[in-house]
Amino acid sequence: MARILIVEARFYEHLNDLLLAGARSAIEQAGHEHETLTVPGALEVPGAIALADESGDYDAFVAVGVVIRGETYHFEVVSNESARGIMELTLAGLAIGNGILTVENEDQALVRADPAQLDKGGGAAGAALVMMELRQRFVS
C-alpha cells in the first residue's frame, strides 16, 4: 500500500472540495492511503511537494488547485510557474499528478473539478499512481 500526499492550493474552497473528492476517491479505489496538505496558492505547491519529499514518507504526490484568469498578468505567472515547478520535480524523479486547473472562468473550473463531470482531481491522482508505478519499475 502506497502513501500519497495531496497538496492543495486552497484558494477557491468550493472548487477544491470537488478536486479533493475526486483525488481521494481515485486513491482509495486503488487501495492506497492519502493525506492532504494545504498551502495558500498554486505557487506554493511545488515547494511544499519538494519539502514533503525530503521526509521520505510519500510514494507519490497529487497537486490540486484552481487558477482563474483575472484582469492582470498574474494569471500567467501563477499558471506557468506552478506548472514549471511541478515539471521540474517530475523530471527529478518524483511521481506527481498535476491537477491544478488553469481556466478562464469559474464555470470552466466547475466542469473540470466536479467528479461527476471531467473529474480532473481523480485524473491527477490516476496520473500520480501511474508515475509511481513507472518510478518503481525503472528506479528501484
Q: Work out the percent of the chain whose per-residue pLDDT is above 90.
A: 96
Interatomic CA distance for residues 67 and 101, integer angstroms = 6
State the architecture of 10-125 in CATH terms: 3-Layer(aba) Sandwich (3.40)
Q: Per the annotation, does 42 bind a ligand? A: yes
Q: Per the annotation, does 75 bind a ligand? A: no
pLDDT tens sequence across 69-109: 998 899 999 999 999 999 999 999 999 999 999 999 999 99
Across the range 24-43, mean pLDDT stands at: 98
pLDDT value at position 130? 98
Question: Across the chain, what does the average pLDDT equal?
Answer: 97
Across the range 111-124, mean pLDDT stands at: 98
Domain positions in the chain: 10-125
pLDDT value at position 26? 98
Q: Per the annotation, does 39 bind a ligand? A: no
Q: Phi-psi bin for 63: left (phi > 0), alpha (psi -120 to 50), beta?
A: beta
**Angle of helix 13-29 versus helix 106-113 axis, rounded to 10:** 20
CB–CB of 106/16 below 8 Å?
no
Q: Per the annotation, does 68 bind a ligand? A: yes
For residue 70, count other CB atoms closer than 10 A to its CB: 9
pLDDT value at position 7? 98
Across the range 59-67, mean pLDDT stands at: 98
CB–CB of 83/47 below 8 Å?
no
Q: Per the annotation, does 36 bind a ligand? A: no
Interatomic CA distance for residues 98 and 86, integer angstroms = 7
pLDDT at residue 140 tops 80? no
pLDDT at residue 114 tops 80? yes
Across the range 49-66, mean pLDDT stands at: 98
Interatomic CA distance for residues 1 and 33, integer angstroms = 7
Give catalytic residues, as residue numbers.
74
Provide CB contacts within 8 A for 62, sequence distance 6+: 4, 5, 6, 7, 23, 27, 34, 96, 97, 99, 121, 124, 125, 128
Across the range 26-39, mean pLDDT stands at: 98
pLDDT value at position 113? 98
In this structure, what are the phi and psi dihedrals at residue 19, rounded to the nearest 5 degrees?
A: -60, -45
